[in-house]
Amino acid sequence: MAARTMVAILAALPLCACVTVAERPARSTVGCAQSVVRSRVPAGLADKPTHCIAAAMIARYCSRTEATLVSIGKEAQDLFGAGDAEWADLRADRAGLRCAAEAGDDGAVVECCRAETGNTGRL
Can you give the three-state secondary structure of the chain, one letter per residue?
CHHHHHHHHHHHHHHHCCCCCCCCCCCCHHHHHHHHHHHHCCCCCCHHHHHHHHHHHHHHHCCHHHHHHHHHHHHHHHHHCCCCCCHHHHHHHHHHHHHHHHCCCHHHHHHHHHHHHCCCCCC
- Note the pLDDT tens digit of each residue in 6-40: 544 555 555 444 444 557 888 899 999 999 999 99
Residue 1 has pLDDT above 50, yes or no: no
Sketch the domain layout of the chain as residue ranges: 49-118
Per residue in 64-108, pLDDT (tens digit) is 999 999 999 999 999 999 889 999 999 999 999 999 999 999 999
